[in-house]
Amino acid sequence: MTRLLAAPVWRSGFRPFFLGGAIYGPLALAAWLVALSAPPGVAVPPTVLWHGHEMLFGFAAAIVAGFVLTALPSWAGTPEVSGGRLMVLAALWLAGRMAMWGGAGLWPALAAGVDLLLVPVLLAMIAPGLLAAVDRRFAVLLPILAAMAAGNAVYHGATLAGDHVLAHRALVWSTDVLVVLFAVVGGFLTPVFTRTTVAGLENAVVASPAIERLAGATLLLWVAADTMVPDSWPSGIAAAAAAVAHGMRLWGWRGWRTGRVPVLWVTHVAYLWLVLALALQALSDLGAPWPGTVALHAFTVGALGLMMMGLMSRVVLRHTGRPVQPGPLMVAAFWVMMLAAPVRVAAGILADDRWLAVSALLWGLPFIAYLFAHGAFLVRPSLPREAAPER
């Protein structure tokens, strides 16, 4: 056990969770495509609710956990979660996935209980360090993660009660919470990395306090409207206001100056997809002839997918002692993910399952490329940190 705990994979949160998430995301999506290809009238698991849950609380939760556990010691000075505690978190995540895949053969309440453990235990591990940190800004992660845990609890409660409408709303709520987390993390790191990486932008990247407050307020207003009066004109107006505010925020970061740094420009494009997703949501709520899932997938595939690609690459290279310069395979993966997003939006607007299958393939390939490019780095010892300049 001592040798197992000393393995490189248990030294930092990004290692097991990025590895697990990059494997699990394409696998869960492939299972969903198999279900979609079943003949008409034949019910084949997984269901649409299972698909939404596992992409949020299976795949995305793994990436979020890995990033939070790695970023907080660097940015907030909190203690590193490693060794046995990290192994416990990884085991809870894996147990949750096994429960969700085998839930039909288990006592459903037991499967739900197992799946609900990860985020509360994660919160219990990071909360003391965050609350004791000198810089309290990062404590905003605590209510966001707690809201995600609440969304998962409502989902399971509704599923056990047979209320599929409420279960769907719980997944939409959880996605909205993930949007807030995206805006917080992406909105903090993207301008910081831009200022410190691109020559000439040290003082040019603007983070106007007024725009920052406007962006936060409009996004929270939209989440509230989407929760209380979804698919309505108030929700549409709030989404439009948030799109404008976050577009102004993005403009101040001078993303067009980052073209020579792939690991940086991909995060700017990711944030642009957040703006587009909010705009699509506004149009949908105000009467455009496409479902709200179009905006949802613009966020999950375009914004979240691209931001994950950029930050996962930066983290694994930086924290294993390597230059933050993704190789050709990962740069190609960025471009493939960029293509997956508009294809997925088109599939939703056209209601065409053929385009859906193409977008799923384009989404999964970048994570497979990530495993080929960086998978070995996740399980091997790091190089000396001196060998890892920021770019």
User: For 165-198, what is each residue's pLDDT tens digit?
Assistant: 999 999 999 999 999 999 999 999 999 999 888 8
Q: What residues have CB less than 8 Å from 237, skipping those under 6 apart?
A: 225, 282, 286
- Fold for the domain defined by 2-387: Cytochrome C Oxidase; Chain A (1.20.210)
For residue range 197-237, list pLDDT tens digits in order.
887 777 778 778 999 999 999 999 999 999 999 999 999 99
- pLDDT over 70 for what percent of the chain? 95
For residue range 126-156, list pLDDT tens digits in order.
999 999 988 888 999 999 999 999 999 999 9
Q: Is the pLDDT of residue 164 over 90?
A: yes
The whole-angstrom separation of Cα 366 and Cα 372 is 10
Pick the range with the lowest mean pLDDT from 98-107, 317-326, 363-372: 98-107
- pLDDT category at 389 given cuts 50, 70, 90 is very low
CA distances (Å), origin 384, targets 57, 73, 283, 299, 345? 34, 18, 50, 37, 43
127 and 53 in contact (C-beta within 8 Å)?
no
Location of structure tokens 């997956």: 340
Q: What average pLDDT does the chain have?
A: 91
pLDDT (mean) for 266-275: 97
pLDDT at 387: 44
pLDDT at 46: 67
- The secondary structure of residue 73, as a DSSP letter, is H
Give the up-direction half-sphere exposure of residue 204: CA atoms within 13 A in the CB hemisphere: 12
Closest C-alpha among 166, 207, 171 to residue 190:
207
Highest average pLDDT, of 51-60, 97-106, 201-210, comes from: 51-60
- pLDDT category at 390 given cuts 50, 70, 90 is very low
pLDDT at 344: 95
The whole-angstrom separation of Cα 117 and Cα 95 is 9
Q: Is the pLDDT of residue 2 over 80?
A: no
